[in-house]
Chains A and B, each alone.
Chain A
């Protein structure tokens, strides 16, 4: 188990401030082109993507959901989903790394004090990244063991987290913890604070360079002003949780497209037909055409569904989020996530099935699509996502809200 030391924080830098949705998408496209070139090598060499994340910070994309009152672009859910999709086509690890960053920005929007919003939105506008530290190994989300205990006017944080996507490369780590009143809070801790150790122990087959391993917090000093009353979010209807699912789905949609992009390029380059194919060339193989055509239609439908689900979130946010709106958004997010898993895994498999034996050569890195899709989608059980959608369709029931330890 190695300890990887993060570099100097970027939060003192001046980041570009994106003005609106159109600029956000344009910047995301440009950044995607920039990071796509190194995706195979990063995955192969397990390179910590500092340069790519610094480019992401400098691009201004991390601040696009900061409210306008604080100087951000305050873009829609649809724009955020598209930005995630674009980045994930290029490299889904870079796509996933800031996923929780966006949720923490939303947590600040929802329950941060005015002072917390001013300070932390300012950090984000200057390019700071928030890393994840919520889940714990051997403990359910209902029973977090990480504790925030009072010490005079401040607090001490103790606990160990896993699946800490983005923590290694963050400037701030918002840590989910239980306070003395048994409420869930987010303690915003500087990545370089004394007592914080982020380990390079993420040893998995896919999404390798998300470095989503262990973070340890040992008697970390936390000023009272850096503790966000996250429990309040669980007491009211919200889009917070379905937003997270939506962004996960956008990553899988990006993987699906990347796999089919590679498939089309691979077959176009191939002159000989597959062994046994009754076709003069690979490009004239009718069965290949049919399978590719079906996969393309399914990808396009998936992409359209992602947009629809994101716009549904925007509609709910505009109309006011009640239990029904929150429930409908959750159903929509679970649905697109479920379909995205199917389409991404199928596309990654088809890439090999239709490209032939040469597709297995390591230099292509084609296997990364399946590995990335597989690792990213096993987060929760896809069959049960479908059940939630089915329950709503048949019984009109909405998915139960996540219930975390609270008062």
Chain B
């Protein structure tokens, strides 16, 4: 799946979580709302990064990480399952870091 697919999935999961909270006991719980705010912000940031031509890899990893984050924070409220490849996201971070240190890419 590409970054745009993962971001679309992220929006779907987020919408499911937000909708499920309306009328819920946790609807006005500060801790829950803070977590929702954190996830919304990170989703917005990944979407903003995806709009840049030079950041496709980074946006893709952030989008995928965010799906795990959404699932991890609200596992009972979303219909989604991670993939085996999600266990190796750090390898993609590693590639970004290596390229950065070698000067192949700039900060």
A residues apposed to B, CB below 8 Å:
257, 260-261, 264, 267-268, 283, 286, 288-294, 296-302, 304-305, 307-308, 335-336, 338-339, 383-391, 393-395
Contacts and interface: CB of A to CB of B under 8 A. Distances in A.
Interface of A is mostly: helix
Please classify how large the interface on chain B is, using the bins under 10, 10 to 19, 20 to 34, 35 or more: 35 or more
A256 to B, nearest CB: 11
Nearest to A386: B37
B44 to A, nearest CB: 6
B44 A335 contact: yes
Contacts of B32: 390
B83 interface: no
Given A260-B107, A302-B45, A394-B18, A389 B37 contact: yes
A394 B22 contact: yes
A394 B52 contact: no
Contacts of A288: 97
A294 B49 CA distance: 14
B34 A293 contact: no
Nearest to B93: A293
B36 A296 contact: no
A290 B36 CA distance: 27
A338 B97 contact: no
B41 A338 contact: yes
B66 to A, nearest CB: 10
B41 A305 contact: yes
Contacts of A391: 33, 37
Interface of B: 14, 18, 21-22, 27, 30, 32-38, 40-42, 44-46, 48-49, 51-52, 55, 58-59, 61-62, 90-98, 100-102, 107
A389 to B, nearest CB: 3
26 contacts: A289-B95, A289-B96, A293-B93, A293-B100, A296-B96, A296-B100, A297-B58, A297-B96, A300-B52, A301-B42, A301-B46, A301-B49, A301-B59, A304-B55, A308-B44, A308-B48, A384-B30, A384-B34, A386-B33, A386-B35, A386-B38, A387-B30, A388-B37, A393-B37, A394-B22, A394-B33
Given A264-B107, A390-B35, A304 B40 contact: no
Contacts of B61: 297
B36 A394 contact: yes
A300 B46 CA distance: 9
Given A289-B94, A390-B36, A394-B27, A301 B48 contact: yes
B101 A300 contact: no
A216 B91 CA distance: 57
Given A296-B107, A304-B45, A304-B48, A290 B40 contact: no
